[in-house]
Amino acid sequence: MKTFIKLSLGTFLVLFMMGCTKNFDKINENPNQPAEVTTASLFTAAQKGLCDDIYDEWWGGRQSLLYAQYWCQRNYPSEDRFAIRQNVNNQYWRFIYHDVQNLVEIISLNTNPETKVKARTSGDNNNQIACATILKVWAMQIMADTWGDIPYSEAFKGDDPVNPIPTPKYDRLTAIYAAFQTELAAAVNLINEDAGGFTSGDVIYDGDMTLWKKFGNSLRLRIAMRISNTDNYAAARALVEEVGEDGFMTSNDDNAKFAYIGQSPNNSPLYDAFWTSARNDFTTCKTINDMLKGINDTLNDKINPFFGLTDPRLQVYSRIRKASAGYMGMPYGMSEGPTQAYWKKAVCPSFYGPAAYSPTTAIVILNPKYAPVFMEYAEVEFMLSELNNWDQAHYEAGILASMEHWRDISIELEGRSAAWSDNYNTMIDNYFAALPPASKETVMAQKWIAFFNQGYQAWAEYRRTGEPTWLLQPGEISMIGTDGNPIIFNPLVNITTIPWRMTYPQQEFTVNGANVTAAAAQIGGDQMSTKLFWELPSGK
């Protein structure tokens, strides 16, 4: 039995730009001469495809990073006010299911008696299954948390030789979460740390199954914590009892990330957004900028939980400085006129330069070699702090892990000097000397700061906890205009909060109409204001 991949591994899901939108069709090889590939190649394609599609300028930059208020758009700021582009919503649904299909194929090839022997040339069968399952659940949780009820149990059976299902049903989100927990537990139990993982093709961990096991258990904890509003942390506590704290990520060396080569077509996706595609659309948001500066939001009477503290990560997350005010950020939620007027005053110049990437003007997540993070140690520490009644030691360990993570990335990718590193470390010491104690407010705010560039996780955690309350809400003041009047954050859709979910892609109503229509009714309406089962209960 031959295995075929519809994408050329050499082109790695190349994406083209057309004006202000993306050409969303994947580039295929000649369909009459499909290439046989190994499971190792499928694994590389899945890892890179997920990074390209989740951490790019479109699904990531114009959705999750905006909803988390990490950055704002300098041009065309409609998405800042929740007016999504349906072509983006449509195509990324397909993109990510397509990426995950490669992982499902790996599992099948290592399970089927007719193909598992050949698949074994890429590594131990069970370990391949475990790795593919962990990454599959990681990706599908983002999908489920974005839309709610989605196709899962029947989603990858369109080409099933026995019982093809071209129009899969939408599973209830509660059932999907139960499947996530079951699948991850089975995957971790499959792992044989002595057998080794993928012999090639594993960019994340280079076949180290000890690290894959930690990733799998840490992801199990994320999923268990996500449903804490429904079970009062029972699943999370049971998991910690089962595996022990040492079974999760225990240092930044355990972080799951995908490092790009740094040359076309293997640049980090946000680099391509600014330089390959020559876009000039984004800048650091005032919301996170001001929290890192340690100043209060006087326009909306919000107290910064870290008032008076300058966070060393400020110089990593921003490059925008004004002599009289230091680091500046774009106010969130404004219409196009005030937005462009603001940056045209040179208060918020672009990260983009006319020549090439430069660390003096562009933040490190725009570096061509930047490695997007699937999951990191800092998150584990913040989860353990919350699980242990906002424990101080775990809280401090999470902050330190995040600060060191961004310091080390800056040194590696930007060539920061020893003097810069010494100054950064001094700032860490000064920050900890005045750090407020652990509480729901401070732990969740630090978790949000650490999630920079992991917009979908930050957005999900806000929806679960309501923290940080620091985020600008609809109806609040973005800034004071040149006429002295407040500019109010008014969404372009009918919602009074940050969105609780994304609306279903319009293409689904064409290609899978009966099932998506039933799902929309089942969840209580296909609206951004419809809550998912694990989100903060109404009235809280």
Amino acid at 23: N
pLDDT average, residue stretch 511-527: 97
**Nearest to 451, CA basis, from 55, 96, 140, 83:** 55
Confidence at residue 19, expressed as pLDDT on a 0 to 100 scale: 33
Report strand pairing: 16-18 vs 21-23. antiparallel
- Segments in 352-501 forming alpha helices (H): 377-387, 392-414, 418-433, 440-450, 455-465
CA-closest candidate to residue 528, choices 496, 506, 483:
496
What is the mean predicted confidence (pLDDT) over 146-169? 94
pLDDT of res. 23: 40
For residues 205 and 134, what is the distance between their CA atoms, to the nearest angstrom? 13
What does the pLDDT read at residue 26? 44
Is the predicted pLDDT of residue 432 greater than 50, yes or no?
Answer: yes
Gap between the Cα atoms of 178 and 90, Å rounded: 26
Q: What count of Cα atoms within 13 Å lies in the side-chain half-sphere of residue 412?
A: 13
Predicted confidence band at 540 (pLDDT cuts at 50, 70, 90)?
low
Kindly tell me if the per-residue pLDDT of 326 is higher than 50.
yes
For the cut 80, the answer to whether the pLDDT of residue 320 exceeds it is: no
With a pLDDT cut of 70, the percent of the chain lying above it is 91
> Where residue 67 falls among pLDDT bands split at 50, 70, 90?
very high
Range from 139-153, 342-356, 503-517 carrying the lowest mean pLDDT: 342-356
Token duo for residue 522: 């089942």
For residue 5, what pLDDT is reported?
34
SS3 476: coil
- Output the DSSP codes for 260-293: --SBTTBS-HHHIIIIIS----EEEBHHHHHHHH
Could you tell me the pTM of the whole model? Answer: 0.93
In angstroms, the CA 402 to CA 382 distance is 10
DSSP classification of residue 4 = B
* pLDDT attached to residue 7: 34
Q: Which of 13-22, 350-359, 364-373, 374-383 has the lowest mean pLDDT?
A: 13-22
- Checking if the pLDDT of 24 tops 60, the result is no
| Per-residue pLDDT at 13 | 28
Burial-class residue 298 by CB neighbours within 10 Å (0-12, 13-18, 19+): exposed
Q: Is the pLDDT assigned to residue 476 strictly greater than 60?
A: yes
pLDDT tens-digit readout, 217-252? 999 999 999 999 999 999 999 999 999 999 999 999
Whether pLDDT at 351 is above 90: no
Residue 354: pLDDT band with limits 50, 70, 90 = low
- Mean pLDDT calculated for residue range 281-308: 96
| Band of residue 355 on the pLDDT scale cut at 50, 70, 90 | low
The pLDDT value given to residue 321: 77
Alpha helices in 284-391 (DSSP H): 286-293, 314-317, 336-344, 377-387
Residue 426 has pLDDT above 90, yes or no: yes
- The reported pLDDT for the residue numbered 349 is 63
Q: What is the mean pLDDT of the segment spanning 311-320?
A: 93
What number of other Cβ atoms are within 10 A of residue 182's Cβ? 11
Among 87, 138, 135, 105, which Cα is nearest to 39's?
105
pLDDT, averaged across the chain: 91
Query: What number of residues does the chain have?
Result: 540
Helices 125-147 and 39-54: angle between axes, nearest 10 degrees: 20
Task: Note the pLDDT of residue 35.
Answer: 57
Which pLDDT belongs to residue 91?
Answer: 93
pLDDT number for residue 218: 98
